[in-house]
Structure 1
Amino acid sequence: MSDQPESASGRTNPETGLPVSAPQAAWPERVDTGPRQVSYRITVNAPAAELWALLANPHRHHEVDGSESVQYTRTGPTRLAVGDEFTMAMRKFGLPYTMRLVTTAADEDRVVEWQHPGGHRWRWQFEDRGDGSTTVTETFDYSWTKPVVARAYELSRRPADNANGIRSSLTRLAGRYL
């Protein structure tokens, strides 16, 4: 039995006697994907197929959502294909609402994307790194919106707010696989 204190994980640094910190996910990095797009990426220690299956199932989106607005899926398939519709129970500023979304891209193990009624899209891209890990890029793409809608988004700071949510979602996803 050691005189060293034990951390919650039971491990201590033998030189300092301090607890060994838990593994942390890297902070997502900004990616330039074009005008009126907000994108960040992170490397996740999981295969692309597993991550795609998680995000291609709208009934699991709340598990990853870092904005804390996604509550649960009301209707929709368990595996998205182009043209599929699904509805999400959402909450923003304490107010509940329902959002009807349409799948605009679903390329197995590579990309899944859906469109919001306002015209913007949410896209998740998965790039297998060949070592069991995957580079995941999440994008809020409002280049599809009408110019007046895009300007309203910018004036209301939606791109900046969504950037915070994206970073949180990616960190949350990566943290699941530490």
Structure 2
Amino acid sequence: MTDQLISESITVDAPPAVVFGILADPRQHNRIDGSGSVGSVISGPERITAKGQTFTVRMKLFHVPYVIMNRVVEYEADRRIAWRHFTANRWRYELEPTADGGTTVTETFDTTRANTLTDAVVRRAKFYERNREGIVATLERLKKAAEADAA
């Protein structure tokens, strides 16, 4: 693994379909966001069902609001979902069922497709470190939400 792939995993006491249901609903992303940057959805499907779908979200970075459109670039129901915006960076979730009916979830911030300029900006703004912290917090929030939804 390179420093261009920031990944963390967590085991959730909920089946993959419940976890994926949260991830595939853009309106729930601010519910699980641990970075503090994801706001409300402006447009998009109630549930992502295929690669190529888009959703637009209100965001903030360093307390500065902005709007971003994301495109789903990987999709396998109950197993994998990833999206990107105007950069080539991807936010990916991979789900693996556990023997006891739960799910191991791995979230990855993937910049391996980024051009040199994007990579330089990501490094200079310390997004790698910031994104690792956000991923850990997001996975904890996802675990709590999925376990509540499964109960």
- Aligned partners of 2:56 and 2:126: how far apart in 1? 25
Structure 1 unmatched runs, 5+? 1-31
Q: Does 1:157 align with 2:126?
A: yes
Q: How many pairs are equivalent?
A: 146
- Contact 1:38–1:139 at 8 Å: present in 2 too? yes
Structure 2 unmatched runs, 5+? none
Deviations 1:132-151 (A, max 9, x none): 21000001001111022112
1:76 pairs with 37, 44, 48, which one? 44
Deviations 1:101-129 (A, max 9, x none): 10001100100100121220100110001
Matched ranges for 1:1-12 at <5 A: none
Q: What is the RMSD computed on CA atoms of the aligned residues?
A: 1.3
Taking only the aligned residue pairs, the percentage that are identical comes to 35
- TM-score normalised by L of structure 2: 0.91
Q: Does 1:49 align with 2:17?
A: yes
1:146 pairs with 110, 115, 119, which one? 115
Partner of 2:67: 98
Deviations 1:79-98 (A, max 9, x none): 21100011001122222110
Deviations 1:29-64 (A, max 9, x none): xxx4x4511000000110001101110111111110
2:83 pairs with 110, 114, 120, which one? 114
Report the structure number with the largest CA radius of gyration: 1
- Aligned partners of 1:112 and 1:137: how far apart in 2? 11
- Aligned partners of 1:57 and 1:106: how far apart in 2? 13
- Aligned partners of 1:174 and 1:86: how far apart in 2? 23
- TM-score normalised by L of structure 1: 0.78
Partner of 1:63: 31
Higher RCO, 1 or 2 (CA under 8 Å, sep at least 6)? 2
1:136 pairs with 105, 109, 120, which one? 105
Larger helix proportion of the pair: 2
- Contact 1:56–1:106 at 8 Å: present in 2 too? no
- Aligned partners of 2:29 and 2:125: how far apart in 1? 25
